[in-house]
Amino acid sequence: MTKPLLTRYTWRLLPCLGLFFLLGCSAAKPKTEAPAPYGPAEIQQRVSAVGLLQQSFVGFVLYDPELGKAVVEHNADKYFVPASNTKLFTFYAASKMLGDSIPALKYVAKGDSLIFWGTGDPTFTHMDLQNNIAYDFLKNRKEKLYYIEAPMTSTPFATNWGWDDYNYYYQPERNAFPIHGNVVKFKKDSTTAYTTTPAFFEKHVKPDTSKNAHRDTFRRAWRTNDIAYNPKRAAIAFSQEVPFITSPELTVQLLADTLKRPVKLVKRAIPANAQTLYGLPADTVFKRMLQVSDNLMAEQLMILSSGTLSDTLSVERAIKHAVSTYLSDLPDAPIWIDGSGLSSMNMFTPRSIIALLQKMQAERPKEKLLPMLAVGGRPGTFRNIYKAEVPFVFGKSGTLAHVHNQSGYIITKSGKLLLYSFMNNNFKSSSSEIRSAMERIMTEVHEKY
């Protein structure tokens, strides 16, 4: 009779079973595993995953100055819409073309007359910058004031700006003599009626309680400075800025209103032998432009820069000069339309942005360069990301519809200072999702690389 299998093989299996259980128990003991490697391959994988997940176009470069090369590149030579990353180019060009101080205005004194005109300085009576230099100069001169409109070839809106954004704070008009940031500010707290700054525009505001009233609390007419106020849309407390339509005639009216003295518009050629009144330090304006991504500051800085080339103000001329003179050695020629990045016709490659960051690093000490930029966890466009006791990301973000980018400098825990450009175009999700993905990846670079 054949013995049962259990009986037949039990004794033969016992040694094997014992070894099996010994090994099993050994494997069950906790082990101290080596940390997973984190280097260029892992970073590349995470960057690629963003594009795959979002069905979008992603470009990325991480550059190590110590090695003198890019350690990660993904679509580095492809053109992307940069949005406000354009302001890095504006910053560099303006820092090369302007001196240490911003030219506030130009003037000629003749007898009892002071003839003056604008340089493009955006800080005159600006509501967020303390600058009384030009104001006090004009206010206290004994001569009669005569204003000339400086010749300017740039249009109030640049090529491909959104016409339907004309009512919003981020798209004020460009002109030769900005006043109050070229916006009207309406503000209210929970206990008071709203205020209008400058008060000059109070007469332009009319209530609109119709069924077809616009969803904005304040809405300017398309072709006039008439502003409709919709009380049904007003919160208990609010602050809204509405750009106004600029003109030489309005400039004179606003000057007279704020200076509390007569100012007359005259039409004549720019006089020879003009003197220049200088205003704020250039770095003050650069810092404001970069940290809060101020579009008017960016546009006007290029207008100011063009004034170093001729009496005719032109954003386009300043850009052309900067590209041919200071940026001719970039890996890929920039397609550069405006100073702010509002135009979706701007196009730069990630590796060209890295080359620009290298130039900035070479020409400014680190302690003077990094604080100019948006800083992680600090007031500015990076205030809600990269929060840490010791800041480790310094850069510039850029956002348009279906566009969100970051470029700048990152300091790792190992002490490395790296340059990066992370560009995202053509995604269909919200920009906040893209921002979160970039933050996760760059924080990993900070902690592990």
Q: Is the pLDDT at 348 greater than 70, yes or no?
A: yes
Domain end among 280, 312, 328: 280
| Residues 329, 333, 334: CA angle, nearest 5 degrees | 115
Angle between helix 315-325 and 86-97 (nearest 10): 80
Residues 369 and 227 in one domain: no
pTM of the model: 0.91
Residues 368 and 389 in one domain: yes
Domain count, the chain: 2
Cα gap 437→433, rounded to integer Å: 6
Residues 185 and 303 in one domain: no
Residue 198: what residue type?
P
Task: Find the Cα–Cα–Cα–Cα dihedral 144, 148, 149, 151, rounded to 10°.
Answer: -160
Domain that holds residue 110: 104-280
Please report, in angstroms and rounded to a whole number, the separation of the first and last CA atoms in the chain. Answer: 70
Tell me what percent of the residues of the chain surpass a pLDDT of 70: 92
Q: Is the pLDDT at 139 greater than 80, yes or no?
A: yes
Domain end among 246, 280, 314: 280
Residues 347 and 268 in one domain: no
Cα gap 380→72, rounded to integer Å: 28
**Residue 188: inside a domain:** yes
Domain end among 280, 314, 338: 280
Residues 250 and 306 in one domain: no
Cα gap 375→383, rounded to integer Å: 7
Residues 265 and 298 in one domain: no
Cα gap 246→176, rounded to integer Å: 10
- In degrees and rounded to multiples of 5, residue 300 shows phi and psi of -70, -30
Residues 162 and 303 in one domain: no
Residues 272 and 141 in one domain: yes
Specify the pLDDT at position 27. Answer: 44
**Residue 196: inside a domain:** yes
Specify the pLDDT at position 34. Answer: 54
Q: Is the alpha carbon torsion for 378, 383, 385, 387 positive or negative? A: positive
Residues 325 and 217 in one domain: no
**Residue 287: inside a domain:** no
CA-closest candidate to residue 88, choices 424, 448, 358, 418:
358
Residues 134 and 69 in one domain: no
- Segment (H or E) for 293: none
- Round the CA-based radius of gyration of the chain to a whole number and report it: 29
CA-closest candidate to residue 309, choices 82, 127, 151:
151
- pLDDT tens for 208-256 read 989 888 889 999 999 999 999 999 999 999 999 999 999 999 999 999 9
Q: What is the CATH number of the domain that holds 349?
A: 3.40.710.10
Q: Is the pLDDT at 11 greater than 90, yes or no?
A: no
Residues 119 and 88 in one domain: no
Residue with token string 């960057």: 47
**Residue 50: inside a domain:** yes
**Residue 15: inside a domain:** no
**Residue 5: inside a domain:** no
Which one is predicted more confidently, 191 or 226? Answer: 226
- pLDDT tens for 17-69 read 343 333 344 344 455 555 566 889 999 999 999 999 889 999 999 999 999 99
Cα gap 374→365, rounded to integer Å: 17
**Residue 374: inside a domain:** yes
Specify the pLDDT at position 212. Answer: 86
**Residue 21: inside a domain:** no
- Segment (H or E) for 146: strand 144-148
Residues 365 and 403 in one domain: yes
Going by pLDDT thresholds of 50, 70 and 90, the confidence category of residue 408 is: very high
